[in-house]
Homo-oligomer: A and B are copies of this chain.
Amino acid sequence: MTLDKAVIGLTAMPGAGKSVVVAVAKESGYDVVVMGDVVREEATKKGWEATPENLGKIMLELRQEEGKGVIAKRCVPKIETAPSKKIIVDGIRSLAEVDEFKKNFPMFTLVAVHASPEARFRRLFRRNRSDDPKDWEIFRLRDLRELGVGLGEAIAMAEHVIVNEGEYETAKKNTKEVLRKVEQKWTKQPST
């Protein structure tokens, strides 16, 4: 248990607009731990290219070998050694990961970012990265795959929800408000 780290875990469907939240948290002194980096590091170790297919395969392997909370487990030392006392963890996808973080960091708060499927689709399509959905059906299948891992359960169990339909200033304001509430609660908790 690490009592002196205050951790926010971020969870969201693809394209929900987590990046605004991460940016605002950074500005507010948070260090960022990206859960996807664990998988990318594993790819590098194997000498594999970081294609979506390879990353998906590695993710599956890791889960089968070390359990559903494996990615969270591997983020724990990253959080412990981060310089800041306040950390934001980007990319929580299941309650198993939430449990892993809570076990290690009593001051852990789960925050969800929400956008409508339409807004997420527009955002991913515009972003046009290599793994982006080119049409609604592929987008829908990707959503269902993420939900299959347990992403919806994490979202439903969040302490706070930040709605991000695309108005940057609104999302920024809502994020600041949520960070204020989370930090207010942290200062009330005994932290040795």
Which residues of A line the B interface, CB within 8 A?
13, 95, 112, 114, 116-118, 143, 147, 150-161, 163
Contacts and interface: CB of A to CB of B under 8 A. Distances in A.
Contact of A117 (B116, B118, B150, B159): B159
Nearest to A181: B165
Nearest to A109: B116
A151 B153 CA distance: 8
12 contacts: A13-B156, A95-B147, A116-B158, A116-B159, A117-B157, A118-B159, A143-B157, A151-B156, A152-B154, A152-B155, A155-B155, A161-B163
A156 B157 contact: no
Nearest to A13: B156
Contacts of A159: 116-118
A15 to B, nearest CB: 12
Contacts of A160: 116
Contacts of A116: 158-160
Contacts of A154: 152
A114 B161 contact: yes
**List of 10 A-B pairs having minimum Cβ-Cβ separation, nearest first:** A152-B152, A152-B156, A152-B153, A155-B156, A116-B159, A147-B153, A114-B161, A13-B156, A161-B161, A161-B163
Nearest to A153: B152
Given A112-B114, A143-B157, 4 more contacts: A116-B158, A116-B160, A147-B152, A150-B152
A156 B156 contact: yes
A95 B163 CA distance: 21
Nearest to A156: B152
A95 B117 CA distance: 13
Contacts of A152: 147, 150-157
